[in-house]
Amino acid sequence: MKSIISHSIEETREIAKKWLNEISSTAINDEAFVVGLCGHLGSGKTAFVQAVADALGVKEQVTSPTFVIMKIYNINGDKWPWKRLVHIDAYRLERAEELGALNFESVVADPHNLILIEWAENVKSGLPEGWRKIGFETLEENERKIEFVD
């Protein structure tokens, strides 16, 4: 486990970019790379996803998919092992079985997907083996603790 303190959105963007470079070399090509983002409301999960999307070259504005649950963005360029960023917000989900309505098994089966799931703790029993976790904690108004769990 590795913890990093971010003092600003700019630092969070740099942390996200560095993390993305690290995981891109370890991505296994037989299924999607799944990452659960856990932490309280306002702890930086969506900001982190936005930073990842920006680093991946996503052109659309990335917002939290709280009401639609899942958004899929195309990744531009050939630098990354993925073609799509799948952003899921499980805040409104109460059971892992509800992921089925998103055709989650097919999304996970596609090795071209990088899947980031906010509020992953709500559906963790439905996540694939080997999923990664990043924890977020608010320390001060602009200060966040970001914890990468292996």
* Separation in Å, CA 106 to CA 33, 58, 111: 13, 22, 10
* Each residue's pLDDT tens digit, 3-43: 999 999 999 999 999 999 999 887 767 899 999 999 999 99
Strands 132-140 and 113-118: unpaired
The count of domains in the chain is: 1
pLDDT in tens, 61-97: 998 887 789 999 999 878 899 999 999 999 999 889 8
What number is the average pLDDT over the span 38-54?
95
pTM equals 0.94
What domain range includes position 9?
Answer: 2-149
Domain with residue 97: its CATH number is 3.40.50.300
Cβ-based neighbours of 86, under 8 Å, separated by 6 or more: 32, 70, 71, 72, 73, 107, 113, 114, 115, 116
